Amino acid sequence: MADETEGRHGSAVAPRRWWTAALVTGALVVALSIVGLRLHDERSTARAQARPPAAAAAPVIAVPARTRDMPVVLTGLGAVTPLNTVSIRSRVDGQLMSVRYQEGQLVKEGDLLAEIDPRPFQALLVQYQGQLARDQALLDNARLDLQRYRVLVAQDSIQRQQLDTQESLVRQYEGAIKNDEGLIESATVNLTYCRVVSPIGGRVGLRLVDPGNIVHATDTNAIVVITQLQPITVIFTIPEDSLPAVMAKLAHGVRMPAEAYDRELRRKLAAGSLLTVDNQIDPTTGTVKLKAIFPNADAALFPSQFVNVRLQLDVERGAIAVPAAAIQRSPQGTFVYVVRPDQTVEARRVTLGVTDGDDVAVAKGLRAGELVVVDGAERLRDGSRVALQPPRGR
């Protein structure tokens, strides 16, 4: 009985232990699965966080390369130089009675500038006129006596010597008349010099002598200085290597336009043309002087003013031009960022030509109509994605 009971209990315990082991094993498998899933999620999250985000498109402004005529110019620094500068001095001695101009006034040729006391010269003129009248009367009387002596000599009533003496006296009086006429002309000229007039048209400078002072013809100081402003010239320099091209144009009589700009080359002051070239090169600087002439109708150019001159030698027709802001530089040379149809950029090397204002001609490496980046290039590399923005001001 005991054995049978023990046998039944033993057979019941065995399945229970198996189920218990199965449950434990399942729980371990589930726990390990959960842990594995968590580790996988954490690793996936870590990999996602470690992976760099996709590069965003850089905002840029691009404009198309266009075709235009580009002038070939030489630029040189120069100074405004008047065609004529006249220091007005007195040509007679006397008291300065009045000044008839305002400082800085624009005057014309022949305008009265100052007056010198004319009374001493008027008195001298009257004196010489009286002396001329006296000598003229003596000459007339001597000529009458000469006619009489000739008759008497023909009648053999007087000696020939008297006739010769009378003829000599007539010639003396004729000489005195010429001397009197010269004195009168000199006095008349000096009287004219009492009115100081402008020999040229231009701008009057500051007054150098006040009325009431005694002026002399030998004074080193001028009464006033007049500077011609219209037209006016600019003397500027260019490198000696550019001289052959200029001389070739001059030899064929080609008129070369010249433009005067301020020091920053921003504001155009006047337009004119090349007048002449100096006859020698400065060996210390390797430059040659050129002179351009400007009408200066608006008086924008002022004597001794420093300006930049742009001398146009030729015009390059149909050049490919881009804004100067599109040009990038590297140790390998100049390049531009060209926007491709897929909204990426290509760093393309270009060969530059002439420059005109804010535009630069591209001699090689670019076609008309291609988009070049003009703003935002500092964030780009070859192949970068871009987002085109509208140009500013539109």
Q: What is the DSSP letter of 266?
A: -
- Do 371 and 322 share a structural domain? yes
138 part of a folded domain: yes
Q: Which of 288, 316, 344 is a domain's end point? A: 316
How many Cβ atoms from other residues are within 10 Å of residue 359's Cβ? 16
Separation in Å, CA 82 to CA 98, 220, 341:
28, 22, 58
Q: Which of 253, 283, 316 is a domain's end point? A: 316
- Do 189 and 122 share a structural domain? yes
- Do 312 and 353 share a structural domain? no
- Do 338 and 298 share a structural domain? no
- Do 298 and 342 share a structural domain? no
306 part of a folded domain: yes
- Do 304 and 331 share a structural domain? no
- Do 263 and 290 share a structural domain? yes
Res 10: pLDDT: 47
Number of domains in the chain: 4
96 part of a folded domain: no
- Do 1 and 23 share a structural domain? yes
97 part of a folded domain: no
pLDDT tens, the chain, 394 aa long: 444 444 444 444 455 555 565 555 655 555 555 545 555 555 555 454 544 455 678 899 999 999 999 888 899 999 999 999 999 999 999 999 999 999 999 999 999 999 999 999 999 999 999 999 999 999 999 999 999 989 888 888 888 898 899 999 999 999 999 999 999 999 999 999 999 999 999 999 999 999 999 999 999 999 999 999 999 999 999 999 999 999 999 998 889 999 999 988 889 999 999 999 999 999 999 999 999 999 999 989 999 999 999 999 888 888 999 999 999 998 889 999 999 999 999 999 999 988 887 889 999 999 999 999 999 888 888 889 999 888 875 5
**Helix 160-193 and helix 119-154: axis angle, to 10°?**
160
- Do 237 and 247 share a structural domain? yes
Range of the domain at 47: 1-51
- Partners of residue 233 on adjacent β-strands: 81, 293
Question: What's the rounded Cα separation, in Å, for the pair 361 and 320?
Answer: 6
Res 227: pLDDT: 95
CATH number at residue 354: 2.40.420.20
Q: Which of 284, 316, 348 is a domain's end point? A: 316
Q: What is the pLDDT of residues 120-152, one digit of tens each?
A: 999 999 999 999 999 999 999 999 999 998 988
Taking alpha carbons only, the member of 255, 308, 242 closest to residue 281 is 242
Res 192: pLDDT: 95
CATH number at residue 128: 1.10.287.470
- Do 312 and 235 share a structural domain? yes
Question: What's the rounded Cα separation, in Å, for the pair 308 and 318?
Answer: 27
90 part of a folded domain: no
- Partners of residue 70 on adjacent β-strands: 316
For residue 391, which amino acid is it? Answer: P
Q: What is the pLDDT of residues 16-69, one digit of tens each?
A: 555 565 555 655 555 555 545 555 555 555 454 544 455 678 899 999 999 999
Q: Are 166 and 174 in contact (CB under 8 A)?
A: no
92 part of a folded domain: no
384 part of a folded domain: yes
How many Cβ atoms from other residues are within 10 Å of residue 234's Cβ? 27
Q: What is the DSSP letter of 368?
A: T
pTM of this structure: 0.65
212 part of a folded domain: no
Backbone φ and ψ for 279, nearest 5 degrees, come out as -95, 10
Res 156: pLDDT: 84
- Do 290 and 245 share a structural domain? yes
